[in-house]
Amino acid sequence: MKIFNLIILLGMFSFILANEAALVKKLKGNAHIVREGKELAIGVGTKVLEKDKIITRASSSVGLIFKDNTRISVGSNSEFTVEEYMFNLSEKKEVFTTNLSKGSLECVTGLISKINPKAFQLKAKTATMGIRGTHFIVDVN
Amino acid sequence: MKRFIAVSGLTIMLIFSGCSSAKETNLGVSTIDTNGWLSTVAIETVPAPKVAPTPIVVPAPAVIKVDVISLPQADGKVGKVVVSDDDKTTMLDQAWQKVETKHLDKKEILSKEIVESKYRDLLEAMPEEPNNYRMYFKYDSTDIVGDSKILMQIVEDITSNPTLKVDVIGYTDRAGDDAYNKILSMKRAQKVVKLLESKGIDNKLIALDYYGEENPIVPTEDGVANEQNRRVEVTIK
């Protein structure tokens, strides 16, 4: 019975805890994260979780480094969402789905793209458009 | 609570899909009428309009312009960038090459200077590639091969830079079975974490992980020992 309760408890934890995806390594100007409908201030060292949306204002930018060493810089007046992120090599679970709905970004892909290229998906503006690669810029006008 | 939100979210989606099917019906798509379950949902959740409304004018979608530009890697090589839009796909394989969506057949090569001046903010915000160190291990062991020079280099790097995080990831070669190797890779990573702590590195900075036989430096058949794959990688972010 105790074990059964524990399993339920663990299940709830895994349900509540969002995957940590990235760290804010660089920051310029004015940017914030929208997490579960709330606005959070960004600083260098801030953790970015799965489902977070990063919003930058004019003359602002954010540099991110992901758990799998993918690096992304988000330019000014941009909206960038980490839709899904999972990196666990021993469980062979890799998912990297992001969406640039506004603005620009530069991306240098890391281990997920190297080990499982199909797991990497960057959408730009519309769900029908996808980009894969090693080093590129995307600009949504 | 979360579950409740999820359920109500689903209901909203159903209502929404009901609405859109009604709209499509108004626009004269007759197949929706014969779509049994969709119209059932619509009737249950949204009262059917009593008077047939006038056809809804759907505004033309705003023209979306997306540029994709491929850049060379740090080593000067150019990796492929694949861009797909609807069912069309194109590939960029040259440095500073640009393609615009909606015109996937139109590619052009820009100059390095143009890209660097237009996207200066992006290039400046891009974090440096994190320094990565490899420590190698004796066969089936947590004994490190070689001297402690690399450990001192790692400690120096962590302390002399504004380090946010230190990933310590253990790996093995493919001699021995999977489950055993997973534990061996964990022990190797733990060994390195202890060494870093003994040199005064704050445990809160360190993230330990272990992936056993995965992600080898030298891919081999199963059962093969390889000294380059028996390692711990320390990545300083």
Domain that holds residue A81: 19-140
Residue A12 falls inside a structural domain: no
Query: Which residues, including other chains, have CB under 8 Å from residue A85's CB and lie 6 or more apart?
Result: A19, A21, A22, A50, A66, A67, A95, A96, A97
3-state secondary structure of B109: strand
B-proximal residues of A, 20-49, CB under 8 Å = 23, 25-26, 28, 44-45
Strands, DSSP E only, in B60-189? 66-70, 81-85, 88-92, 97-100, 103-109, 131-136, 166-170
Provide the number of structural domains found in chain A: 1
Q: Is residue A67 part of a domain?
A: yes
Interface mutation vs chain A, best among B5, B65, B81, B181, most A CBs within 10 Å: B81
Q: Read off the pLDDT of residues A49-82 as tens digits, 9 standing for 90 and up.
A: 999 999 999 999 999 999 999 999 999 999 999 9
Contact A28 B2 (CB under 8 A): no
Q: What does the buried/exposed string (b/e) look like for B31-59 if buried means 16 or more CB atoms within 10 Å of the residue's CB?
A: ebeeeeebbebbeeeeeeeeeeeeeeeee
ipTM: 0.87
A-chain residues within 8 Å CB-CB of B125? 26, 28, 61-63, 73-75, 106
Q: Which residue of A has its CA nearest to B209?
A: A88
The answer to whether residue A135 sits within a structural domain is yes
B58 pLDDT above the threshold of 70: no
- From the list B101, B123, B214, which residue is nearest A129 (CB)? B101
What lies within 8 Å, CB to CB, of B13 at 6+ separation is: none
Q: Is residue A44 part of a domain?
A: yes
**Structural domain boundaries in chain B:** 2-45, 67-125, 131-236
Percent of chain B having pLDDT more than 90? Answer: 62
Average pLDDT of chain B is 81
Tens of pLDDT, residue by residue over B214-228, are 999 999 999 999 999
DSSP assignment of chain A: -HHHHHHHHHHHHHHHPPPEEEEEEEEESSEEEEETTEEEE--TT-EEETT-EEEE-TT-EEEEEETTS-EEEE-SS-EEEEEEEEEEGGGTEEEEEEEEEEEEEEEE--HHHHH-GGGEEEEESEEEEEEE-SEEEEEE-
DSSP letter for B66, please.
E
Which CATH topology does B131-236 take? Answer: 60s Ribosomal Protein L30; Chain: A; (3.30.1330)
Per-residue tokens: A23: 């760290």
pLDDT tens-digit series, residues B72-109: 988 888 888 999 887 888 999 999 999 987 777 789 99
| Residue B12, CB-side half-sphere exposure with 13 Å CA sphere | 6
- Structural domain contains residue A26: yes
Within a domain: A102: yes
Residue B6 CB-half CA count within 13 A: 4
Asked whether residue A66 is assigned to any structural domain, the reply reads yes
| Predicted pLDDT at B148 | 83
Within-domain flag for A13: no
